[in-house]
Amino acid sequence: MEVISEMQISDRKGLQIEDLRYFVQATEYGSLTAAATAVGVAQSAFSRQLSRLESTLGGRLMHRTGRGVVLTELGRHVLPRAQALLADASALVEDTGGNGRRPAGIVNVGLLPSMARPMTGRLYARVREEFPDIQLRVIEVYSGQIEVMLSEGSIDVGTFNRYRPLRRESQDAVLSSPLCLIAAPGGPHGGKSSVRFSALAGLPLVMPIRPNSLRTLFEETASRRRIETNVVLEVSSATAMKDAVMSCGLYATLPAHAIQEELARGLLEHIPITHPAIRQTTFIDTTRRRPASAAVREVARLLTVLVKQLGMPG
């Protein structure tokens, strides 16, 4: 595969921003026909512009198949850089007032499962009220995946947690919450102000699927204290975790803000875990793959405000 440098791209004649846009849209839709329909041009014209881009870059970017398109190795190499160039162009227009001085565009947001339920609606409502030209795309994934997606540039802003001693400055954290034992009301630990970590031994637990930083720390802590854990169910979302606790009599470990609705309705209860206490520290960051547009900056600001409110009493 030919590796194309920034200098080569800038020196070659004929690179058109619209060609890059068509290429990115073709990968997003997975079909030339669907992408051409979305942008309102004939498929033949759409294909010609893709061919022109391939000629400019010196290689095939995608294979056309009966089921759609599949990126070549060169296409996989070019795609994130094409996305970054388009984002830069959009940010330039926004920041220089080309959109009526109002932030606009699509912002991809990664939210943790523990806060997706209370946060998605609140964030959408605030963005719609203050910046109606911004469109949100919300993805619910765990911390490790969010950090990978931020590094790759596939999301613009994301939340992620830390459980170990912080390397970042503490003022960068937007929320710090103690981990709690989550149980259905009326269980053996009901009404207690706290529960020791050792009391979790033998309890039927529902936990996130590996790899997961909280799960890793939980199991390391149990191993150091020679505590036998009993993970009977693994799930990929906080919603499934809470349902297992309410429906099956299992137990989970989550921060209190993750079960706000269930607490208010008396469906779940939380008991802080001590000896040792484990704190979940939440950060918000934007991708470094490209400069943050005005829309991304405003969404990150609103998200920070809303996440901080999760830790406020009442």
Query: Nearest to residue 31, comparing CAs of 16, 20, 52, 46?
Result: 46
Which of 102, 106, 116, 103 shows the shortest CA–CA distance to 306?
A: 116
203 in Cβ contact with 230 (< 8 Å): yes
CATH number for the domain formed by residue range(s) 105-173+281-310: 3.40.190.10
pLDDT of residue 44: 86
DSSP letter string, 74-94? HHHHHHHHHHHHHHHHHHHHH
- Beta-ladder partners of 196: 274
Query: What tens digit of pLDDT does each residue of 202-224 get?
Result: 999 999 998 888 899 999 999 99
| pLDDT, position 291 | 84
The parts of the chain modelled with pLDDT lower than 70 are 1-14, 91-101, 165-171, 312-314
Query: Cβ neighbours of residue 164 under 8 Å, at least 6 residues apart?
Result: 217
Q: Is 263 exposed, middle or buried (0-12, 13-18, 19+ CB in 10 A)?
A: middle
Helix (H, G, I), strand (E, B) or coil at 51: helix
Distance CA 46, CA 230 (A): 56
Provide the 8-state DSSP code for 217: H
pTM reported for the whole predicted model: 0.69
CB 133 within 8 A of CB 104: yes
With 0-12 CB in 10 A as exposed, 13-18 as middle and 19+ as buried, what is 63? exposed
CB 267 within 8 A of CB 246: yes
Helical ranges in the chain per DSSP H: 6-11, 17-29, 32-39, 43-57, 73-95, 113-130, 143-152, 213-224, 238-248, 260-264, 294-310
- Quick one: pLDDT at residue 126? 97
Q: Confirm whether 105-173+281-310 and 177-280 share one CATH topology.
A: yes
Tell me the CATH number of domain 177-280, given options 3.40.190.290, 3.40.50.2300, 3.30.230.70, 1.10.10.60: 3.40.190.290
Q: Where are the domains of the chain?
A: 6-95, 105-173+281-310, 177-280
To the nearest 10°, the Cα dihedral for 232, 236, 238, 239? -90
Q: Which residues contact 76 (CB under 8 A, 6 or more apart)?
A: none
The pLDDT of residue 94? 62
Q: 62, 97, 102: which is closest to 82 by C-alpha?
A: 62
Measure the CA–CA gap between 209 and 122, rounded to whole angstroms: 27
- CA neighbor of 34 nearest in space, from 6, 8, 3, 67: 67
Do the bridges between strand 230-235 and strand 68-71 make them parallel or antiparallel, or are there none, so unpaired?
A: unpaired
DSSP 8-state symbol, 236: S
CATH: 3.90.700.10, 1.10.10.10, 1.10.8.50, 1.10.630.10. Which one for 6-95?
A: 1.10.10.10
